[in-house]
Amino acid sequence: MKMTYFILTALLVSLGSVILGQEMPNSIQYRKPTSLFNGQNLKGWYTFVQKRGKNIDPKNVFTVVDQQIRISGEEWGCITTKKQYENYRLALEFRWGGKTEGNRIDKARDSGLLLHSTGADGGSSGIWMHSIECQIIEGGTGDILVVGDGSEKFSITASVAKEKQAGSYRYQEGGAPAILNKGRLNWYGRDENWQDVIGFKGKQDIEKPMGEWNHLECIANGNEIIVYLNGVLVNRAREVLPSKGQIQIQAEGAEIYFRNIQLTKQKKSRKN
């Protein structure tokens, strides 16, 4: 009787995970993690501020405070890794500060993690490299955006729900395939009534309240990107182009802090 109970429980948990899009990826072997942030300075990164350029940050949009990267959001831009990466697991923690700036002073707090960044600094809107973005925004953290040039060089394929949300596809495992070379793939539980207002909170939101630390993880496995937020699989894209590049963290009008930025490379499979 106990054995039957355990089997049924396991089946229900497995089924629930598939429905919610939380199923685990195939087993991947990784090396030891490497810290991309030493807690003292921005060694290994460079800054880029809109209308200023590379390593020109007179307003100190990007600073290190108490072993955390503080992004003030006062000007738009990013920090960018000096190295390119592929086939990795990137894990970090983030929390929102209280300040918002400029035309986003009363809008949802906004930032982003740009993966597979390639091309010129400021190539997209004069601010970022073209890339594939893991969105960090109140109510929409885990959305995947194609920050491309409109060509097939930047695109993703995903399983999506039948109905769009405000013109954007929504991730649904087992759904119909869709190809995006621009725009947004919403995470599976994004509120259909999402509004761009400060402090927005959706019914299914996994992100913690403002000021608390969130754990964000992006797995770049070949041409696939899988996004976890606080341990829950929230989004997945396949046939991702490009499949490697630099990593950027955005400043978009909101104060935000980052810490424990760890990148773990995959082990190369042995050939017989």
pLDDT at 272 over 50: no
pLDDT at 233 over 70: yes
pLDDT at 79 over 70: yes
pLDDT at 77 over 70: yes
Q: Establish how many alpha carbons lie within 13 A of residue 10's alpha carbon, considering only the half-sphere containing its beta carbon.
A: 6
Contact 249/79 with Cβ under 8 angstroms?
yes
Confidence category of residue 19, pLDDT binned at 50, 70, 90:
very low
Mean pLDDT, residues 7-34: 54
Pick from 124, 125, 127: nearest CA to 153: 124
* % of the chain at pLDDT higher than 90: 85
pLDDT at 2 over 60: no
pLDDT for the residue numbered 20: 43
For 133, the token pair is: 């973005």
Contact 260/67 with Cβ under 8 angstroms?
no
Which amino acid would we find at residue 34? T
pLDDT for the residue numbered 4: 39
How many CB atoms within 10 Å of residue 142? 28
Please state which of the ranges 6-15, 37-46, 242-251 shows the lowest mean pLDDT.
Answer: 6-15
For 43, the token pair is: 């060694």
For 196, the token pair is: 């761009």
User: 91-128 burial by CB neighbour count: b if 16+ within 10 A, else e?
Assistant: bbebbbbeebbeebeebbbbbbbbbbbbbebbbbeebb
Mean pLDDT, residues 25-33: 77
Helix ranges (H only) for the chain are 2-19
Q: What is the pLDDT of residues 169-213, one digit of tens each?
A: 999 999 999 999 999 999 999 999 999 999 999 999 999 999 999
Pick from 72, 52, 56: nearest CA to 64: 72
- Under DSSP, the state recorded for 199 is T
pLDDT for the residue numbered 257: 98
pTM: 0.89
Please state which of the ranges 1-15, 25-39, 45-59, 105-119 shows the lowest mean pLDDT.
Answer: 1-15
Confidence category of residue 25, pLDDT binned at 50, 70, 90:
low
Mean confidence (pLDDT) of the chain:
91
For 68, the token pair is: 């955390």
Cα–Cα dist 174/40, whole Å: 44
pLDDT for the residue numbered 142: 98
Cα–Cα dist 122/130, whole Å: 8
Give the chain's end-to-end CA distance (angstroms, integer). 46
pLDDT at 13 over 60: no
pLDDT at 143 over 60: yes
Mean pLDDT, residues 76-84: 98
> Within the chain, what is the greatest distance between any pair of CA atoms?
69
Q: What is the pLDDT of residues 180-189, one digit of tens each?
A: 999 999 999 9
* % of the chain at pLDDT higher than 70: 89
Domains in the chain: ranges and CATH: 25-265 (2.60.120.560)
Tell me the three state secondary structure of residue 209. coil
Cα–Cα dist 87/99, whole Å: 35
Q: What is the pLDDT of residues 255-270, one digit of tens each?
A: 999 999 999 999 876 5
